[in-house]
């Protein structure tokens, strides 16, 4: 049954209807918010307008990330009148990635849509992304083709970062920084989010064989407040890229990284040792006066340390996977899987 809409400052900010149950929810829209008291009411109405014509059952999960203004109070009022709205209040400001993780944990949809609370992303794009997802993709990423931000401190660093991330991970997207994305839940279930890694989820997904698409989306200038992004966040993303590359390529075989680097240093050490020997034999340069000898020794010691680190990492990885029975693979589907299979082992006894 519909209830009367809430009004604030003469504006209708929501029109509630009955919420879907957890098992019936198709789409969960996750929105982290930090000090967005001027935006969230308008944003919620825009979401209602955008999703109102959709046939899918949906919910919106707001995560108040330690706001110090009236953001939580406004979200609480929204949730009281609209049962499709879930509000999670964190004890302090943990950061956008942690807030997104909390929203995913408290959602129930089979599809997850991420959206910023600053109203620069347009909720009207969500149905379009969902239609693209239905074409057989696991992830559809928004691309702010006509981005309404300053060039030097926002767009230029983003262009550099997107190019670098695409080159390093092999998952080529124009706009990793666009929060507006839709995912199938099973893709996110195996991803633990830390730091600023929510922007690198497509790289994780690509490493396990997810089918990824990208669509241009509407991007609007900031209407309320001021941006909470800056150059410092760009640097954090680049550092997280190193972690992403390691976790995607070497998490189950760290000896390849550490051992390979160690072998490379050992090879350099052998070459330098050969050069030192030639200089001693043919030119009479004493070994203890030759700086190449010191570099060769340092290369051998570093190579040994890296190989030992690789062996320790291999032991740690095995303990991690085997103690928790975590598989080293992800299955997309199984066709004609027998529900009950009895395996009989015939043992031949030698008489």
**Residue 143, domain CATH:** 3.90.550.10
Q: What whole-number distance in Å separates Cα of residue 76 and Cα of residue 86?
A: 9
Identify the residue with better confidence: 30 or 19. Answer: 30
The whole-number pLDDT of residue 250 equals: 84
Give yes or no: residues 209 and 244 share one domain: yes
**Domain assignment of residue 283, given as a range:** 254-323
pLDDT per residue over 38-72, tens digit each?
999 999 999 999 998 788 999 999 999 999 999 99
Alpha helices, DSSP H, located in the chain: 40-51, 71-81, 96-105, 126-133, 156-169, 185-188, 201-207, 231-249, 254-283, 291-323
Q: What whole-number distance in Å separates Cα of residue 15 and Cα of residue 89?
A: 23
Give yes or no: residues 205 and 269 share one domain: no
Residues 281-295 have a mean pLDDT of 88
The pLDDT-based confidence of 10 (bands split at 50, 70, 90) is very low
Residues 80-86 have a mean pLDDT of 94
Instruction: Spell 201-217 as b/e; 16+ CB within 10 A means b.
Output: bbbbbbbeebbbbbbeb
Q: What whole-number distance in Å separates Cα of residue 149 and Cα of residue 190?
A: 33
pLDDT per residue over 219-228, tens digit each?
887 777 666 6
Residues 202-218 have a mean pLDDT of 89
Give yes or no: residues 186 and 155 share one domain: yes
The whole-number pLDDT of residue 150 equals: 76
- With H, G, I as helix, E, B as strand and everything else as coil, classify residue 38: coil
Q: What whole-number distance in Å separates Cα of residue 335 and Cα of residue 275?
A: 61
Q: What whole-number distance in Å separates Cα of residue 212 and Cα of residue 205?
A: 8
pLDDT per residue over 85-95, tens digit each?
999 999 999 98
Say yes or no to pLDDT of 253 above 80: yes
Note whether residue 338 is domain-resident. Answer: no
The whole-number pLDDT of residue 229 equals: 60
Give yes or no: residues 92 and 222 share one domain: yes
In the listed set 249, 270, 294, which residue is the last one of a domain according to the structure? 249
The whole-number pLDDT of residue 191 equals: 78
The pLDDT-based confidence of 76 (bands split at 50, 70, 90) is very high
> pTM of the full predicted structure?
0.74
Q: What whole-number distance in Å separates Cα of residue 288 and Cα of residue 294?
A: 8
């Amino acid at each position: 049954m519909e209830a009367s809409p809430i009004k604030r400052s003469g504006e209708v900010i929501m029109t509630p209807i009955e919420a879907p149950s957890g098992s019936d929810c198709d789409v969960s829209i996750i929105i982290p918010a930090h000090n967005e008291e001027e935006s969230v009411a308008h944003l919620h109405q825009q979401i209602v307008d955008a999703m109102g014509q959709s046939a899918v059952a949906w919910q919106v999960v707001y995560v108040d990330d330690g706001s110090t203004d009236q953001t939580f109070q406004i979200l609480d009022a929204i949730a009281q009148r609209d049962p499709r709205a879930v509000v999670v209040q964190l004890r302090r400001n943990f950061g956008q990635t942690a807030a997104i993780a909390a929203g995913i944990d408290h959602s129930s949809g089979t599809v997850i849509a991420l959206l910023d609370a600053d109203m620069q992303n347009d909720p009207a794009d969500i149905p379009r992304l969902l239609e693209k997802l239905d074409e057989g993709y696991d992830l559809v990423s928004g691309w702010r083709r006509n981005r309404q931000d300053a060039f030097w401190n926002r767009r230029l660093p983003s262009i550099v970062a997107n190019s670098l991330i695409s080159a390093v991970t092999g998952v080529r997207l124009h706009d990793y920084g666009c929060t507006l994305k839709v995912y199938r839940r099973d893709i996110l279930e195996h991803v633990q989010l830390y730091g600023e890694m929510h922007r690198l989820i497509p790289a994780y997904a690509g490493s396990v064989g997810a089918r990824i698409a990208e669509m241009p989306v509407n991007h609007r200038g900031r209407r309320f407040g001021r941006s909470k992004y800056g150059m410092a966040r760009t640097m954090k993303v680049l550092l997280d890229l190193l972690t992403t590359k390691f976790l995607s390529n070497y998490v189950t075989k760290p000896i390849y990284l550490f051992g390979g680097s160690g072998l490379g240093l050992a090879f350099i050490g052998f070459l330098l040792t050969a050069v030192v020997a030639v200089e001693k034999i043919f030119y009479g340069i004493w070994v203890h006066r030759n700086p190449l000898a010191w570099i060769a020794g340092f290369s051998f010691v570093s190579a040994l340390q890296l190989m030992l680190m690789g062996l320790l990492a291999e032991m740690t990885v095995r303990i991690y996977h085997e103690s928790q029975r975590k598989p080293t693979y992800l299955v997309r589907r199984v066709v004609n899987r027998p529900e009950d299979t009895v395996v009989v082992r015939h043992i031949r006894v030698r008489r």
